Amino acid sequence: MAATDGIGINQGKAAIFDLDGTLLDSMGVWDQVDIDFLSRRGIEVPDDYMTKVAAMQFRQIAEYTIARFGLRDTPEELMEEWDNMARVMYSTVVEAKPFAREYLRRLRDGGARLAVATSLPPALREPALQHVGIFEYFDAIVSVDDAGDVGKDRPDVYLLAASRLGIPPEDCTVFEDLLVGMRSAKSVGMKVWAMHDDSSDLDWSEICELADGVMFDFHDAPQRL
């Protein structure tokens, strides 16, 4: 990114960011929550579990987990337990991906509108954004909960973010680490830049074919949307 970015370079454009694994170096948090949660019940995490739940909405994950492992907990009890475990980590341990703050500042200076589109509930997303010092950069923050509990396998949450920003989908660029989310965003005419995260390794070759650009940190992110 050049130091001579001009005011207005991204006027009329929007950038929509995923949180886990994209803006936040946080996927390890959920891995640890999964390990600790199932360990309390004497269960080892199956190899395919994290991949299966990656794009699900929070309640869907709870229902799937109960069904898969035959747990006696209610979805509400699971979600509360996960919330309590994760809230501490999101508000104290999680960090931003390298150069994320600098990149958000450049986009704002260039006139772009910024939004978050995440699967995280408000109780987790806002403490994390505050903790890493990027909360104030966003014009809109939405989650799948706000989009009728529809997961990222459909584009609803990205369209909701665009609507809140007042920017048409074709002028939006989505930053994601999950293939299923990238497909949804592309299906409604949005550009997609893929952030590499360990959780996306198995899909990386397909991600590289689908995305408009790929990056390993925000130093490689596009200066013009």
pLDDT digits (tens, 9 = 90+) for 67-98: 999 999 999 999 999 989 989 889 998 999 99
Strands 95-96 and 24-25: antiparallel
Structural domains in the chain, sorted by start: 14-26+94-215 (3.40.50.1000), 28-91 (1.10.150)
What is the percent of the chain where pLDDT is above 90?
Answer: 76
Query: Are 132 and 33 within 8 A, CB to CB?
Result: no
**Count of residues in the chain:** 225
Residue 222 has pLDDT above 70, yes or no: yes
Q: What is the pLDDT of residue 50?
A: 85
Write phi, then psi, for 192 (nearest 5 degrees). Answer: -135, 130
For 201-210, how does the pLDDT look when each residue is reduced to its tens digit (9 = 90+)? Answer: 889 999 999 9
With 70 as the cut, is the pLDDT of residue 12 above it? yes
